[in-house]
Amino acid sequence: MSGAIEMKLDYVVGAQRYCGLLLMAPGESSKAAVMLLPDWRGQSPLARDHASHLVALGCAVVIVDLYGDGFSPDSPGQVGPMVQQLVAHRTQGVEALGACARQLALHVPPATPMLCVGFSAGGMIALDYGRSGADVAGIILCSALLKTAEGTKTRIRAPVLVLQGTQDQVSPMETIAAVIEEMDQAGNDVRFELYSQTHHAFDNPAAGADPKARLVYSPISAKRARGAIAAFLLEITGQS
């Protein structure tokens, strides 16, 4: 990533070690600290591209370690078991993200707004983190693996932005409707931005353009999502 400072950001939950990747613009005070929760590939070129965009917007960004030990899958055959593990242990993901937040706070000035930006499986963890009562300034989900709350519906302290495709087979409209109902009942400040003719992984150029596939890239929706993310950050931080 050209011009950005990169460093490891280690954190621990119990006996499990996690290794995030922190990226910051040199010589500048970050207007926000962002925990970027990537899709199933972890700290991939796509995650770095998303992080680069956020750094250019003035943020310090840590690409969160989803699985522990800095593991980033490199084969589609690994996606099922790895994501199933995240779904089966949602509380563990929240605890790990909390440990990441505490470490990230040590690298930015006090009172720097902290946000979560979650893609696909990372979006599930980001929303669960908000449900846990976490003290964050905002939560953004993009093409997320949406899940309703486990157990009691919890008030989320921060505003939430959800960017989804109407043709998403991973998080179909029925799931989106269930999450909307949950958010309404809990009194949460959530806005949903839906993109028609848009599938899961619409932010990923490597997903291809076959409209019959489960994962499909949409350059138009990806561009609109980035614009929505930038506007949300501006709203939260009050800085241009």
Q: Which residues contact 165 (CB under 8 A, 6 or more apart)?
A: 143, 194, 195, 196, 197, 198, 199, 200, 202, 218, 221
CA-CA distance, 67 to 42, in Å (whole number)? 8
Q: What confidence tens digit (pLDDT) does each residue in 172-193 have?
A: 999 999 999 999 999 999 999 9
Q: In what order do the strands lie in the sheet with 160-165?
A: 5-13, 16-24, 59-63, 32-37, 114-120, 138-144, 160-165, 190-195
Distances (CA, A) of 234 to 70, 224, 240: 31, 15, 6
Domain with residue 27: its CATH number is 3.40.50.1820
pTM of the model: 0.95
How many structural domains is the chain composed of?
A: 1
CA-CA distance, 154 to 134, in Å (whole number)? 11
Distance of alpha carbon 95 from its chain centroid, rounded?
15
Q: What confidence tens digit (pLDDT) does each residue in 16-30 have?
A: 999 999 999 998 789
Backbone angles phi, psi at 45, to 5 degrees: -55, -35
pLDDT at 151 over 90: no
Look up tokens 């005070």; give the residue: 29
Look up tokens 């929505």; give the residue: 228
Q: What confidence tens digit (pLDDT) does each residue in 203-212 have?
A: 999 999 999 9
Query: Which pair of structure tokens corresponds to residue 3?
Result: 């011009």
pLDDT at 194 over 50: yes
Q: What is the mean pLDDT of residues 2-8?
A: 85
Q: What confidence tens digit (pLDDT) does each residue in 100-138 have?
A: 999 999 999 999 999 999 999 999 999 999 999 999 999
Which domain does 10 fall in, by range?
Answer: 5-237
